[in-house]
A and B are shown apart, each in its own frame.
Chain A
Amino acid sequence: MNLYQKNALGRKYIRLVTGSPFIYLSFLACMLALFLFLTISTKVDLIKTYQAKLVNVNETPVLAVDSTDFPVGKAFLYTNKNKNVYPVHIQKAEPYQDGTLLHLDGNQGEDILQSVDSQNLYLDVPQGEATLLYFILVKGGKGGG
């Protein structure tokens, strides 16, 4: 029984959408494929947070972390993440007591270290990448960088 006999356009549209599951399922499949493609191809840095301390070595302020295995490269330094986050570049990491001493790149690092007003610092260090899909489904958006 067709209740849409009066409106030819409406009837065609209704018949198109409800007459066969193909159109709607195709739409869903296309959109799902596009969504998966975009979320899988988008890579987001996996961030690991380290607690760091400011120490003076040869009258130069450097960072000391407890971890012995610390990668050099891009990092984000802060005392309170919701106030200021400084992007820094760790140029050199050398063993120090039970941890590692981190030397920041050039004068920029020294300026930042001199401007931070706390001894207790945090370093967010990108360690590998994960897909956006992984961040959404598994981590609920937490721990990306």
Chain B
Amino acid sequence: MDEKLTLFGGVKFLRKYFNKHKRNFILFYIGWFVDNALTVIAPIIFSIMIDQIVYYNNLNVFLRVSLVFALMSLFSCINYFLIYTFHHYLMSMYIFDIRMDLFNKIQTMNAVSMSRAKTGDLISTLLYDTEECMHFIIRNIFHSFNALLKGAFYITYIFIISIIAGFTVVLFLPLVVYITYRFGKRIRSFSDNQREIYGGYASWLFEILRGLTDIRLLSAEKNVRRKFIGFQRKLFQVDIKTKLANLTSNQIIEGVSLLLQLAVFGICAYLAFLGEITIGNVIVLMTFTFALKDQCIAYIVRNIMEAQTRLTRIARIKRFMSMEDESSWKGKNELTVSRGDIQFQQVHFAYDPRKPVLKGLNLSIPGGRHVAIAGKSGCGKTTIASLLIGLYERHAGSITIDGQDIASCNLKSIRQNVGVVQQDILIFDATIRENLLIGNPKASEEEMWDACRKAGILTFIEELPDQLDTWIGNRGIGLSGGQKQRIAIARIYLKNPSVIVFDEATSALDRETEERIHDAWRELLRGRTAIVIAHRLSSVMLCDHCVLIEDGVVKEEGHPEQLLETSEPFKKLFAVNEVATGNVH
């Protein structure tokens, strides 16, 4: 559940973004203040004009006051245009700043936070919740404050014109405040609930849309549909409750305001009948009472209700912003790799403290050696790679590359020196060139072609009409699993790290494609240290050393061919794996 944020908490959180555009926010506020002042003054000027012409036939003063009125209207129009220039500018910049911060946060989130965050939540927060921050500042703070000021002006002028009307207005106000407070609390709780359900629903939907094929293959459409209906039902119920509470409070306040209006209209009629007020005064009183009801009371009430919803959204942004990120990584030194010796010494690690994954792992990989890491699922193979590139921090022990503890090195230098090729290759909706340059934006044209040649994708690219400028991804041409692997290998060539980790990179490819990819690997691995996290024997056999992990420690190690002859667990593991993946010869 999100942290409950108060109005002041929301303002405090958003203040740093406000401060960045303080000058324009102040100008924007001054503009609104002037606009509101003109709104208050206009009926008074109008009443003077009427009294002058109706009672005293004073055309001279009437025309002069009319000139002031016309000028004020023109002034108001230009002012309004300028205010909205500020509004749109601030809206764009303010949202941009928050989105940028949030995006940076998402990008630097540590692996633990990343695994906890729901994708749907992140998307809806980044796209929709950020907009609400600006609405909160402008509508809930600026406009509400202005509406309060305007209300105070209206009441003062109503008192000036008629004390009885003033007292009538003041008597109704506590009632409105009480109703607003009562319903505001209820709406906030419904709104929190709604956001919580919606967040879960969006994440679930995101996963479902990604796995549509799997759902069909598992014939799970019925279950998914049932869950979809369940979510819709929950959302519908909470939506009805929120809207009902909103509607009820609005209608009650509308009723109270109507009573207030009727009372003031009655007083106006009575005073006009007695001759104590003029037609102009009646117009001002009626206009002010109507404006007080519409522009102040109803407006503030609506804003308070909306503020409750917005605060929930701001609390979500705040929660994301406070998630742990990689800035907690203490290492500052630059990692420089020459030979590529890797040492794991007494490394302990657990995702869940009750279930340790690595229990004092010792592993020594001399520079230039290609080591396969094998073991059953969940034995900690991928964890070893994750610790090596600093996705997680080990709980005890040390991991060194060329004698430098990676905990003392900065993440950027670690990731520059350790390249990773995974099974799922990230291909952007962009050109091949852009997809290649992501590893090294400074790579030259020549280096790119060379990397493509070494990765074995040169012929494919050369045959494309736009070659490196061909659009790939969802909106471009589709790539096969093997081609994606080759793109990933080309990226590694451009990045040129001393250490490479292959994390089950070819486990989804067919045997023929895998063999061709392995040829590209052999070329890539020359002169580099490599860790191959392998599910297939063929990947293990590429290496000159193999480590069998079991229960968080190294169970056996040696040359793959030697292990294949002597190690029962090794033979058993690959017999099982090869059967499972259909790769038995």
Contacts and interface: CB of A to CB of B under 8 A. Distances in A.
Interface of A: 1, 3-4, 13-14, 17-18, 21, 24-25, 27-28, 31, 34-35, 38-39, 42-45, 76, 80-82, 85, 87, 122, 124, 132, 135-136, 139-142, 144-145
A141 B47 contact: yes
A136 B161 contact: no
A21 B23 contact: yes
Given A76-B55, A82-B275, A144 B48 contact: yes
A48 B78 CA distance: 39
Most buried by A among B47, B48, B71: B48
A142 B24 CA distance: 38
Given A3-B92, A21-B27, A139-B160, A145 B68 contact: no
A132 B66 CA distance: 12
Interface string B40-63: 010111011001100111100100
B142 interface: no
Most buried by A among B55, B93, B160, B281: B55
Contacts of B284: 140-141
9 contacts: A21-B23, A25-B27, A35-B75, A81-B278, A82-B279, A124-B55, A132-B48, A140-B44, A141-B281
Nearest to A43: B61
B96 A145 contact: no
Contacts of A42: 61, 64-65, 68
A145 to B, nearest CB: 5
B518 to A, nearest CB: 46
What 4 A-B pairs have minimum CB-CB distances, sorted nearest first?
Answer: A140-B160, A141-B47, A141-B44, A140-B157
A27 B85 CA distance: 14
Given A27-B79, A43-B61, 20 more contacts: A3-B96, A18-B24, A24-B27, A28-B30, A35-B75, A38-B64, A42-B64, A81-B275, A85-B55, A87-B56, A124-B56, A132-B45, A132-B64, A132-B68, A135-B48, A136-B44, A140-B44, A141-B47, A141-B281, A141-B284
A13 B65 CA distance: 34
A13 B85 CA distance: 9
A118 to B, nearest CB: 12
B72 interface: yes
A35 B278 contact: no
Nearest to B278: A81
Contact of A85 (B43, B56, B65, B75): B56
Given A14-B89, A28-B34, A145 B78 contact: no
For chain A, what secondary structure do more than half of its interface residues adopt (helix, strand, loop), or is it mixed? mixed
A35 B27 CA distance: 20
Contact of B161 (A3, A39, A142): A142
Nearest to A138: B160
Contacts of A34: 71, 75
B67 interface: yes
B57 A87 contact: yes
B48 A27 contact: no
A14 B85 contact: yes
Contacts of A35: 68, 71-72, 75
Contacts of B278: 81, 142
Most buried by A among B56, B65, B86, B93: B56
A3 B72 CA distance: 34
B263 interface: no
Nearest to A3: B92
Given A42-B64, A135-B48, A145-B55, A140 B161 contact: yes
A116 to B, nearest CB: 14
A76 B56 contact: yes
Contacts of B279: 82
A122 B274 CA distance: 12
Contact of B277 (A3, A4, A28, A142): A142
